């Protein structure tokens, strides 16, 4: 990645308050260019068209028997079915994490798992860490 190029993040979070707070703060700090998505459908569409350097994706637990759309999005990225490289850093935001989910996330090469309740600062630090690692890898 070119060191002078802005670091682009996809932020997928249904909660408007959390999504907007993180987005505005990250933009204000100059840490990254944030593209927001409130739904997984919107996120999928954006992922097909735009390249991102990292992603922060909320995983909402679906009703019994339904597919977790957040995990589906993660798998689409990892399988190279998006405009971004398949190995971009991905952090997930979850309400809880049992051993089954942890194994799925490890198998999906998730960079960081943030379990609610977390501080907004934790999400911002995660994005900043992604950017620093990306810039460090290109120097």
* pLDDT attached to residue 3: 42
* pLDDT attached to residue 105: 94
* pLDDT attached to residue 60: 86
CATH 3.40.50.2300 fits 8-138, yes or no: yes
* pLDDT attached to residue 10: 98
pLDDT tens sequence across 10-31: 999 999 999 999 999 999 999 8
* pLDDT attached to residue 2: 39
Residues of the chain with pLDDT under 70: 1-5, 62-66, 137-139
Question: What global pTM score does this model have?
Answer: 0.91
Please spell the DSSP secondary structure of 2-67, one letter per residue: -TTSPPEEEEE-S-HHHHHHHHHHHHHHTS-EEEEESSHHHHHHHHHH---SEEEEEEPPPSTTS-
Name the residue ranges covered by the structural domains of the chain.
Answer: 8-138
* pLDDT attached to residue 23: 96
SS3 92: strand
* pLDDT attached to residue 1: 38
């Amino acid at each position: 990645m070119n060191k002078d190029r802005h670091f682009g993040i996809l932020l997928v979070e249904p909660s408007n308050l959390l999504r907007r707070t993180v987005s505005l703060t990250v933009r204000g700090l100059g840490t990254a260019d944030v593209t927001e998505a409130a739904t997984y459908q919107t996120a999928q569409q954006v992922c097909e068209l735009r390249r991102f350097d990292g992603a922060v994706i909320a995983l909402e637990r679906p009703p019994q028997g339904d597919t977790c759309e957040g995990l589906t999005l993660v798998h689409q990225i990892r399988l190279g079915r998006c405009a971004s490289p398949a190995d971009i850093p991905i952090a997930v935001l979850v309400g809880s994490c049992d051993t089954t989910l942890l194994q799925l996330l490890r198998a999906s090469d998730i960079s960081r798992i943030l379990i609610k309740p977390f501080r907004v600062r934790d999400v911002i630090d995660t994005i900043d860490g992604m950017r620093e690692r990306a810039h460090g890898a290109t120097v």
